[in-house]
Amino acid sequence: MIFDTEASILARLVDRCPSGSLLVGTFEEVNLTDDAAEVVAGQVFLTEIQPAGEVRGACAAVLLHYAFSVYCDIARASTEQKTAAADLFEQAAHALVSWEYAPMRYPQLTQGQSTEFNGRVLRLSFGFSLPAFLGSP
């Protein structure tokens, strides 16, 4: 269930973000410091599974908290690639806040990972959460 949800999120992003964007999930590594690697990448990352207080038989309601982060190797990025990183960030945010994943249900925006720059790679991030059920419905 959890990773089916992540697959749906990634499918939404692939469909709505700039063509050719590198988008990966929780179990995939983003390493831009290899000079042969991409300069810009986006990652959906499961940051927390929070109980939602409802347990019904063998099924528990939870909130799945995700971060979407754009990574850009500033040291190698051209002006166009930096613009592409900004576009990827904005398009992903728009794709997710406008995603009606169920009738009249949309992701809730939350705090993402902190903006970080290690002298080479910049990370920009926003968070969002979706409800889910663990166990047998």
Place 136 in a pLDDT band, splitting at 50, 70 and 90: low
Q: What is the pLDDT of residues 117-128, one digit of tens each?
A: 999 999 999 999
**What residues form DSSP beta bridges with 37?**
none
Average pLDDT of the residues in 18-22:
90
Strands 116-117 and 40-56: unpaired
| Cβ–Cβ under 8 Å, residues 122 and 74 | yes
One-character DSSP codes across 42-66: EEEEEEEEEEEEEEETTEEEEEEEE
Band the pLDDT of 76: cuts 50, 70, 90: very high
pLDDT of residue 36: 76
High-pLDDT (> 70) share of the chain, %: 97
* Closest C-alpha among 60, 51, 46, 53 to residue 110: 46
| 24-63 pLDDT per residue, tens | 999 999 988 777 778 999 999 999 999 887 677 778 889 9
